[in-house]
A and B are shown apart, each in its own frame.
Chain A
Amino acid sequence: MSNVILSKVNKIYGAGRTGVHAVRDLDLTVNDGEFMALLGPSGCGKTSTLRMIVGLEAITSGDIHFGGVRVNDLEPRERNVAMAFETYALYPNFTVEENLAFPLEVRGVPADERRRRARELAELLRITEILTARPPVLSGGQQQRVSLGRALIREPAVFILDEVMSHLDAHLKFQMLFDLKRLHQELRRTMIYVTHDQVEALALADRVAVMSNAALQQVGDRNALYNRPTNMFVADFIGEPPTTFIAVERCDRAGAIELRAIGADIVFDVAAERASALDAHGGRRFTVGIRPQNLYPCDHDPRMAGKVVINEYLGERSILSIVTGDVTLRALVPPETRLAPGDHAGFSLDPRDVMIFDTESGVLVA
């Protein structure tokens, strides 16, 4: 058991002008026993990061420490990390039991002890009935469990899961999410979970590290990512349906600050404590982000109003798309909302839910 500290880690594939900067100055601390998710779209550098942590990829520059020990120059087998692969990577010539016991074999654990621990783990993962089967005949979910088991059988300092649910169907995924969370709560191991799926990341992890374009964007728990995203990328990437962004212009009136949407008749009030942040930042043009969850249908004196173009019924909720001027807003509403395309709809919102970003850099201003 140990923490994982990445400091100023870089990965460059190739060299010179053709080199690809896959990970840029990554600083990240995963605490002892923490469940950290590494979240980002494909090609953001999360898999390179993970391969550097386990030692399958050389680090171009920077340091990685496990529990105070620098592991840069250690072989994967010397780092005491365990990994569950996206493709499961089960040894096809071995039975499930042999697959589970394989990491113990090389450590000189006697055969009967290996067998005992494999069976113990099989019970935990509910795969006892397939112990004598070989991987090619197993279902995706079963292979997934075996690969988790193989990683769990020894006590690794760090436990890494690489996109382990991307090949499971929705129902199975739900079950695995539950099982993984339970496993972590029972074992309290340091776990790093790599995924492109925010639902998995937010459901499982104590904290989520969001990556994009080879760089870390934000590390935080669900609330921080959701309510205080550091930039427009995080605001857009986290949350379903995604945040609506509206270009606005600052108007000062009688001591109060208003943000007026460009190309639509929407006005956002800015509270005094946020006004100082806008003053400090300077400039007149900003981008406002509103989460669809934070718009409430309101018939009387709405803050914004427009024509419904789509009403997507999703069972437990509906997504309305509303056009006003040049702006298309999305709002999450109760499923019983009976608004048809062409209807007029009004919404109110809490001014504190409005996120204000710098248009150029995308950084959160207030």
Chain B
Amino acid sequence: MAGEAGFEHRWRHVRLLFLAFLGLWLLFTLFPLYFMAITALKTTAETNLTVPTFWPEVFAFGNFAAVFAEATNFDALVDSFVIASLNTVLSLVLGTLAGYAFARFPRQAGGENLAFWILSNRMFPPVAILVPMFFLFDSTPWGTDSIWSLVILYLVFNLPLATWLMMVFFRDAPPELEEAAYLDGWTPFRAFFRITLPLVLPGMISVAMLCWIFAWNEYLFANLFVGTDVRTYTIVIPTFTHGSQTLWNLQMAFSLIAMIPPVTLFILLRRYMVRGLSLGVVKG
């Protein structure tokens, strides 16, 4: 009995340690969000105080309207949304087909080495290809300053991820189900859409989330490629920094608005996210 009590005792310590760690982690992650939110509600004068305030003296809700004084700022959110969505659709379609090929026909599709090579495209530092990519897209008919240049460019990063993850999900989907469907009279194409695709749907949704968020948040390439005909919201945020001062409140207000689409998506799809991310992990 004494041993059991000691065991209980030790467990309580572990729990306390865990909670302390969790608290610390929450502090680090939530504090910036908190400071962002309150800054967005401060007046410009209050943001410039030497000793920062931790609660706005006056709530300046007008900041959220003021960021759209420049009409193109809203267009930038639309452009970002269009680019991220188009890129996600392309990544999903191509990544799903490629992932299926790697999972079901590894030999014909080029084998494990090719699959790894595709994944390794995700591993180099993006800045390494910044200049070559600029010249590459500059020589296309539509130039760099276009929605299509970023939609296609982001495939470089999203397609390897989508292909690899979809391959893992398809490997987990039992091939007998497709075989059973063939014997039941279905063509491979219809069996794929009716049987296998619904099985990996949670995985597809989490892949879509990852691709969409990458494309939505991308700054480095967008900053160099676009800016006149097309503007993404990520290159609008720095414009609140002027020569003499930074309009922190507007910058934070705009950033908060830019957080709404991904957060909404995540809340709507979180059920699939959790299932999708655990698809490749849990083995029967």
A contact set with B: CB distance below 8 Å: 54-56, 75-77, 81-83, 85, 87, 89, 91-93, 102-103, 106-107, 150, 154
Contact of A82 (CB < 8 Å), options: B174, B183, B198: B183
Interface residues on chain B, number (Cβ under 8 Å): 16
Do residues B199 and A106 form an inter-chain contact, with CB atoms below 8 A?
Answer: no
Task: Identify 20 new A-B residue pairs, CB closer than 8 A, beyond the known A55-B182, A77-B186, A91-B177.
Answer: A55-B183, A56-B179, A56-B182, A56-B183, A76-B183, A77-B183, A77-B185, A81-B183, A82-B183, A82-B184, A87-B176, A89-B174, A89-B179, A91-B181, A93-B199, A103-B184, A106-B184, A106-B185, A150-B180, A154-B185
Instruction: Please measure, in the bound complex, the distance between the C-alpha atom of A106 and the C-alpha atom of B195, giving whole angstroms.
Output: 13
Residues of chain B contacted by A83 (CB below 8 angstroms): 180, 183
B83 smallest CB distance to A (angstroms): 33
Query: Given contacts A91-B195, A93-B198, is CB(A85)–CB(B176) below 8 Å?
Result: yes
B187 CB-CB contact with A under 8 Å: yes
B190 CB-CB contact with A under 8 Å: yes
Mark out the residues of chain B between 160 and 214 whose CB falls within 8 Å of any chain A CB in the assembled complex.
174, 176-177, 179-187, 190, 195, 198-199
Query: Given contacts A89-B174, A91-B195, is CB(A77)–CB(B187) below 8 Å?
Result: yes
CB nearest to A153 among chain B residues? B184
Residue-wise, chain B 134-148 has the 8 Å CB interface mask toward A (1 for contact) of 000000000000000
Q: Among the interface residues B184, B195, B198, which one has the most CB atoms of the partner chain A within 10 A?
A: B184
CB nearest to A156 among chain B residues? B183
Contact of A102 (CB < 8 Å), options: B179, B184, B187, B199: B184
Do residues B187 and A92 form an inter-chain contact, with CB atoms below 8 A?
Answer: no
Residues of chain B contacted by A82 (CB below 8 angstroms): 183-184
Do residues B187 and A89 form an inter-chain contact, with CB atoms below 8 A?
Answer: no
B contact set with A: CB distance below 8 Å: 174, 176-177, 179-187, 190, 195, 198-199
Residues of chain B contacted by A106 (CB below 8 angstroms): 184-186, 190
Do residues A89 and B185 form an inter-chain contact, with CB atoms below 8 A?
Answer: no
Instruction: Please measure, in the bound complex, the distance between the C-alpha atom of A54 and the C-alpha atom of B181, giving whole angstroms.
Output: 12
Instruction: Please measure, in the bound complex, the distance between the C-alpha atom of A77 and the C-alpha atom of B184, giving whole angstroms.
Output: 6
CB nearest to B195 among chain A residues? A91
CB nearest to B176 among chain A residues? A89
A-B contact list, 15 entries, CB within 8 Å:
A54-B183, A56-B183, A76-B179, A76-B182, A81-B183, A82-B183, A85-B180, A89-B177, A91-B180, A92-B177, A92-B199, A93-B195, A93-B198, A103-B184, A103-B185
Instruction: Please measure, in the bound complex, the distance between the C-alpha atom of A213 and the C-alpha atom of B158, giving whole angstroms.
Output: 49
Instruction: Please measure, in the bound complex, the distance between the C-alpha atom of A92 and the C-alpha atom of B185, giving whole angstroms.
Output: 18
Instruction: Please measure, in the bound complex, the distance between the C-alpha atom of A191 and the C-alpha atom of B73, giving whole angstroms.
Output: 71
CB nearest to B201 among chain A residues? A93
Residues of chain B contacted by A76 (CB below 8 angstroms): 179, 182-183
Q: Among the interface residues A54, A85, A89, which one has the most CB atoms of the partner chain B within 10 A?
A: A89
CB nearest to A150 among chain B residues? B184
Instruction: Please measure, in the bound complex, the distance between the C-alpha atom of A75 and the C-alpha atom of B174, giving whole angstroms.
Output: 20
Q: Among the interface residues B185, B186, B190, which one has the most CB atoms of the partner chain A within 10 A?
A: B185
CB nearest to A162 among chain B residues? B176
B204 smallest CB distance to A (angstroms): 14
B252 smallest CB distance to A (angstroms): 45
A89 smallest CB distance to B (angstroms): 4
Residues of chain B contacted by A89 (CB below 8 angstroms): 174, 176-177, 179-180
CB nearest to A92 among chain B residues? B199
Query: Given contacts A92-B199, A93-B198, is CB(A107)–CB(B174) below 8 Å?
Result: no
Residues of chain A contacted by B199 (CB below 8 angstroms): 92-93
Instruction: Please measure, in the bound complex, the distance between the C-alpha atom of A102 and the C-alpha atom of B198, giving whole angstroms.
Output: 15
Instruction: Please measure, in the bound complex, the distance between the C-alpha atom of A81 and the C-alpha atom of B184, giving whole angstroms.
Output: 8
Instruction: Please measure, in the bound complex, the distance between the C-alpha atom of A81 and the C-alpha atom of B182, giving whole angstroms.
Output: 10
8 closest cross-chain pairs (CB), A and B: A103-B184, A89-B176, A89-B180, A76-B182, A106-B185, A77-B185, A93-B198, A76-B183
CB nearest to A147 among chain B residues? B180
Residues of chain A contacted by B181 (CB below 8 angstroms): 91, 102
Residues of chain B contacted by A85 (CB below 8 angstroms): 176, 179-180
A317 smallest CB distance to B (angstroms): 39
Residues of chain B contacted by A75 (CB below 8 angstroms): 182
Do residues B182 and A77 form an inter-chain contact, with CB atoms below 8 A?
Answer: yes
CB nearest to A102 among chain B residues? B184
CB nearest to B179 among chain A residues? A56
Instruction: Please measure, in the bound complex, the distance between the C-alpha atom of A87 and the C-alpha atom of B179, giving whole angstroms.
Output: 12
Contact of A107 (CB < 8 Å), options: B180, B185, B198: B185
Residues of chain A contacted by B195 (CB below 8 angstroms): 91, 93
CB nearest to B184 among chain A residues? A103
Instruction: Please measure, in the bound complex, the distance between the C-alpha atom of A90 and the C-alpha atom of B198, giving whole angstroms.
Output: 14
CB nearest to B180 among chain A residues? A89
Instruction: Please measure, in the bound complex, the distance between the C-alpha atom of A81 and the C-alpha atom of B176, giving whole angstroms.
Output: 15
Residues of chain A contacted by B177 (CB below 8 angstroms): 89, 91-92
B179 smallest CB distance to A (angstroms): 5
Residues of chain B contacted by A102 (CB below 8 angstroms): 181, 184
CB nearest to A86 among chain B residues? B176
Instruction: Please measure, in the bound complex, the distance between the C-alpha atom of A154 and the C-alpha atom of B199, giving whole angstroms.
Output: 25
Residues of chain B contacted by A56 (CB below 8 angstroms): 179, 182-183
Instruction: Please measure, in the bound complex, the distance between the C-alpha atom of A89 and the C-alpha atom of B195, giving whole angstroms.
Output: 11
B195 smallest CB distance to A (angstroms): 6
Instruction: Please measure, in the bound complex, the distance between the C-alpha atom of A76 and the C-alpha atom of B195, giving whole angstroms.
Output: 17
Instruction: Please measure, in the bound complex, the distance between the C-alpha atom of A143 and the C-alpha atom of B186, giving whole angstroms.
Output: 21
A102 smallest CB distance to B (angstroms): 6
Instruction: Please measure, in the bound complex, the distance between the C-alpha atom of A126 and the C-alpha atom of B177, giving whole angstroms.
Output: 24
Instruction: Please measure, in the bound complex, the distance between the C-alpha atom of A82 and the C-alpha atom of B177, giving whole angstroms.
Output: 13
Residues of chain A contacted by B184 (CB below 8 angstroms): 77, 82, 102-103, 106, 150
A267 smallest CB distance to B (angstroms): 55
Residues of chain A contacted by B183 (CB below 8 angstroms): 54-56, 76-77, 81-83
Instruction: Please measure, in the bound complex, the distance between the C-alpha atom of A92 and the C-alpha atom of B180, giving whole angstroms.
Output: 12
CB nearest to A81 among chain B residues? B183
Instruction: Please measure, in the bound complex, the distance between the C-alpha atom of A81 and the C-alpha atom of B183, giving whole angstroms.
Output: 7
Residues of chain B contacted by A93 (CB below 8 angstroms): 195, 198-199
A135 smallest CB distance to B (angstroms): 10
